[in-house]
Amino acid sequence: MNSAQPWWKSCVAYQIYPRSFCDTTGNGVGDLEGIRRHLDYLAWLGVDALWLSPFYKSPMADYGYDVADYCDVDPLFGTLDDFDKLLADAHRRNLRVIIDWVPNHTSDQHPWFIESRSSRDNPKRNWYWWRDPKGDGPPNNWIASFTFGPAWEFDESTQQYYLHTFLPQQPDLNWHNPEVVAAMHETLHFWLDRGVDGFRMDVIHLIGKDPELGDDPPDLAPLSHVPLNHRPETHELLRDIRLLLDSYDRDRMAVGEVYLLDTSLVATYYGHGDELHLNFNFPPLYTPWDAALWRQQIEKAEQELGPIDAWPTWVLSNHDNKRHRTRYGGSESRARAAAVLLLTLRGTPFLYAGEELGLEDCVVPPERVLDPGGRDGCRAPIPWDGSPSHGWASADPWLPWPPEPDKRNVADLTEDPESILHLYRRLIAARKASAALAVGSIELLDGPDVVLAYRRYAPGDNDRFVLINFSQAPTSAPVDLTGPAVVEIASDGEGEGAPFTGVLAPEQAVVLRRC
């Protein structure tokens, strides 16, 4: 099935935050070998592609998103050999591997920046954004993410400011300098030559900047500069990156983190099929659990992306935000309904490791807070079994365990066919077996406010109807199903394989197959 479609359209992607996946050395931090040892689990779950958050050499001011060497593995995570073994073993199981690429900024410990800051006439000075003070202060009003202070740090020894859109330890690279472009292209070649299947490109919309570095609108500036930077220069740079990827084969893929909070702007990063293959679209991630609001997001994605033939992506959780189960109020029935939504929408779903276990964020006591952006909760370690160390080499990982690790762990949920883990597995399998679900079209259906309903359809496959009851009361199905429809999947497992009764239980979601 779907052989005519590129893999990244029909795939289910699974994000791994390496620090939190599995530790095999006893230092409390997950590592590449820990990922390799669990590939059989991922293959069993049925996902097709892994996105690995950064494992590069890093002083870890932003837990790896501050890269000190783009072409090496931090000893915390292992070695390049470990990476090669992981990649080969993943490929043996038909799992593709996408790695995180962090092009907007390096670590302040990267040799490029150490040189750049060493003197005003260093040949790498112009690899970063250095500017004289404006009056007594920074060169413009841009605000940094995380600190919400100026995005400029004054360097005493050379008496200039450098730009950092994130932490001061993350200076922004100057992509308007062709030497930077060439050096960063080399880093892509390095990993493509090793065989990676693609990249998740970190805050990619930031690489092109206003050459004048003009002020942000004062009413918007406090948002931080990140969601405001939307520049034609970036699109030019992306077209060159796309040519580089395409010079390998059509199979290499880039998914961009485009942190612009408007789907119509995100759409432009697909170009005319000559920029990024996929882009993350953040407005749905920030949408509360509400049928009408979700309907609007789906409509918006179809309106903005459909006409330009751009393929959507869907994400409910990642390493930067509270897990969706926690955000949606904590009930497992809701987390199950959300799984049905995520895995039946038109577009590529990205799961975040642990959501298939129904994990909630961990509670982080004040003395254990680590992340400058307040994102520790969603980065809790994955519990693999019910033993005291939950399958980690140390019982005391870098962050606290998520709630209920004694029961809510991979080993226990694998044993329980009624668990949320098995629901994810059934959904992924159903999606793979159905062209309608994997790559088909979508039609939103009218109905009561509390039910989100849509049809997925493709030539040669039975139509699927997805009905999601957002309310806590039983609700009649909004659709007049002509012809019998069988329950293919139910979020609570009830009635699967039987004709649909026409009523949805509280917070129940179903996938129906029209016979």
Binding-site ranges for ligand GLC (CB under 6 A) = 62, 65, 102, 166, 202-203, 257, 319-320
Residue 32 C-beta: closest distance to ligand GLC, Å: 19
Active site residues: 202, 257
Q: Which helix (H) or strand (E) holds 92?
A: helix 80-92
Q: Which residues contact 484 (CB under 8 A, 6 or more apart)?
A: 499, 514, 515
203 vs 510, beta carbon nearer ligand GLC: 203
Return the number of the residue (62 or 412) whose C-beta is nearest ligand GLC.
Answer: 62
CA 29 to CA 503: how far, in whole Å? Answer: 47
H or E stretch covering 435: helix 435-439
How far apart (Å, rounded) are the C-alpha atoms in residues 303 and 280?
A: 16
Closest CA relative to residue 443, chosen from 465, 426, 461, 423 = 465
Using the minimum distance from each CB to ligand GLC, give the nearer residue, 62 or 488. 62
Instruction: Give the burial class of 506: count Cβ atoms within 10 A of its Cβ; 0-12 exposed, 13-18 middle, 19 or more buried.
Output: middle
> What minimum distance in Å lies between the beta carbon of 39 and ligand GLC?
24
Q: Considering beta carbons, is residue 197 or 257 the nearer one to ligand GLC?
A: 257
Cβ 206 to ligand GLC shortest distance, Å: 9
Q: Which of 320, 360 has the CB closer to ligand GLC? A: 320
As measured in angstroms, the least distance from the Cβ of 166 to ligand GLC is: 5
Residue with Cβ nearer ligand GLC (1 or 223): 223
Smallest distance, Å, CB 382 to ligand GLC? 18
> To which residue do tokens 């073994």 refer?
85
CB of residue 165 to ligand GLC, shortest distance in Å: 8
Nearer to ligand GLC, 256 or 405 (CB): 256
- Residue with nearest beta carbon to ligand GLC: 65
Judged by beta carbon, residue 56 or residue 424, the one nearer ligand GLC is 56
DSSP state, residue 227: G
In eight-state DSSP terms, residue 312 is: P
Q: What is the DSSP letter of 105?
A: B
3-class DSSP state for residue 104?
coil
| Residues contacting residue 299 through CB under 8 Å, at least 6 positions apart | 444
Rounded Cα distance between 145 and 491, Å, is: 38
CB of 101 to ligand GLC, least distance (A): 11
Write out the E strands in 5-159.
13-16, 49-52, 56-57, 69-73, 96-101, 130-131, 152-155
Tokens matching residue 418:
């009624």
DSSP 3-state percent helix, strand, coil across the chain (nearest 5): 30, 20, 50
Which DSSP state fits 450? T
Whole-Å CA distances, 3 to 63, 255, 348, 404: 38, 21, 16, 41
Q: Are 8 and 50 in contact (CB under 8 A)?
A: no
Name the residue nearer to ligand GLC (CB basis): 324 or 513.
324
- What is the closest distance, in whole angstroms, from the C-beta atom of residue 169 to ligand GLC in the complex? 11
Residue 475, beta-bridge partner list: 504
Q: How far is the CB of 102 from ligand GLC (least distance, A)?
A: 6
Radius of gyration of the CA atoms of the chain, in A? 23
Question: Which tokens go with 151?
Answer: 């995005």
DSSP classification of residue 141: -
DSSP string, 362-386: PP--GGG---TTS--GGGPPPP-SS
Closer residue to ligand GLC in complex, CB, 374/388: 374
Nearest approach in angstroms of CB 512 to ligand GLC is 36
Helix (H) or strand (E) holding 456: strand 451-457
List, in sequence order, every beta strand (DSSP E) within 104-172: 130-131, 152-155, 160-163
